[in-house]
Amino acid sequence: MKKLLLLIICAAVFASCETKKEPRNIYVMTGFREPADSGLRFIYSRDGYKWEDFGVTSFLHPEVGTQKIMRDPSIVVGPDGTFHLVWTSSWKNDLGFGYAHSKDLVNWSAQRHVPVNDYDTTFRNTWAPELFYDSARSEFSIAWSSSSPARFDGSQRQYFTTTKDFETFAPAALFYDPGYNSIDGAVMQRGKDDYVLVVKDNRKPGYSNLHLAFGATPTGPWSGETESFAPEYSEGPTWAKVEGGWLIYYDAYRQFRFGAHFTSDFKTFTDVSEKISVPKAHKHGTIFMVTESQLKTLQAAAAKLLCEEEKAEAQETSTLTM
């Protein structure tokens, strides 16, 4: 009887803890600003459409890679609440990407360079690593684009690796090969064993637009490619689950703006670019969710960083005028 009573009490306490657990209902989008050497930026939204800037130059400055830049930052939240970040660390002559992790998006681990392409030194680049957490397999997958004069006539293809701990990584393998130059693949989970890849056709001129493909795992194989739904010269797609369906965001880079299409069935797409608002000069990353407390932590850190930036600017101005 005492054992049963103890079990009931423990169950009640557990249920209470679960109800107090904060929901992740704030959208955060990673990004950067050209020329991509200042580091990690965030914007946030409460509805997935209207975005606000934190106002600071960078939450994390790049320190690894051949050119030490930070483009295409991608973040996912692990099952233990850790935020994992990967990014393009160089334009060229780089066999890997950057990696760091954080519990609060403010205090980051030491940065590491992950040389996923070092098995073939003919690769010329490692672009736009994209993270996905596969809860069914309890592992992370990272997909990126690379080109080599020894492969596919030198045009870009997408490759991937998997890891459970960001210490050991599976050998790189082909992720997506549509038969032509292709980059910027982002994975969405629609349901059990049901994944959607939004990806860029990078043939030029006349292409550089986005379409979808479908698979039973987050690493493919991919098939059933759709027609393009975004305008030419769109890149860096990411997505947000919103009421009634999905928003697929993209960087319309020749127009210096973001665009977005809404879909509820991944067959028909509605251009909702006039309904979104993304801060000027924000460049593409990925969207993930945080709690209200985590947002407040970011806002407090941003206010502190902004004060430090303004103080540094004032001191520099004072020195120049002396």
Q: Tell me: the pLDDT tens digits for 257-281?
A: 999 999 999 999 999 999 999 999 9
- pLDDT for 322 equals 64
pLDDT greater than 50 at residue 2: no
Written as six digits, the tokens of 58 are 């960078």
Per-residue three-class SS string for the chain: CHHHHHHHHHHHHHHHHHHHCCCCCEEEEEEECCCCCCCCEEEEECCCCECEECCCCCCCCCCCCCCCCCEEEEEEECCCCCEEEEEECCCCCCCCEEEEEECCCCCECCCEEECCCCCCCCCCCCEEEEEEEECCCCEEEEEEEECECCEHHHCCEEEEEEECCCCCCCCCEEEECCCCCEEEEEEEEEECCEEEEEEEECCCCCCCEEEEEEECCCCCCCECCCCCCCCCCEEEEEEEEECCEEEEEEEECCCCEEEEEEECCCCCCEECHHHCECCCCCECCCEEEECHHHHHHHHHHHHHHHHHHHHHHHHHHHHHHC
CA distance 181 to 158: 9
Q: Would you say 140 and 83 are in contact if contact means Cβ atoms under 8 Å apart?
A: no
Q: Would you say 88 and 128 are in contact if contact means Cβ atoms under 8 Å apart?
A: yes
Length, in residues, of the chain: 322
Query: In which band, very low, low, confident or very high, does the pLDDT at 5 lie, cut at 50, 70 and 90?
Result: very low
- pLDDT for 208 equals 77
pTM of this prediction exceeds 0.85: yes
| 8-30 burial: b if 16+ Cβ within 10 Å, else e | eeeeeeeeeeeeeeeeeebbbbb
Query: In which band, very low, low, confident or very high, does the pLDDT at 319 lie, cut at 50, 70 and 90?
Result: low
pLDDT greater than 50 at residue 156: yes
- pLDDT for 3 equals 43
Task: Report the mean per-residue pLDDT for the chain.
Answer: 92
pLDDT tens, position by position, 33-71: 999 999 999 999 999 999 999 999 999 999 999 999 999
pLDDT tens, position by position, 181-197: 999 999 999 999 999 99
Q: Which fold has domain 25-321?
A: Tachylectin-2; Chain A (2.115.10)
Burial class (CB in 10 A: 0-12, 13-18, 19+), 141: buried
Contacts of residue 103, defined as CB under 8 A and 6 or more positions apart, other chains included, come to 81, 82, 83
Q: Would you say 73 and 62 are in contact if contact means Cβ atoms under 8 Å apart?
A: no
Q: Which of 286, 20, 252 is nearest to 129 (CA)?
A: 286
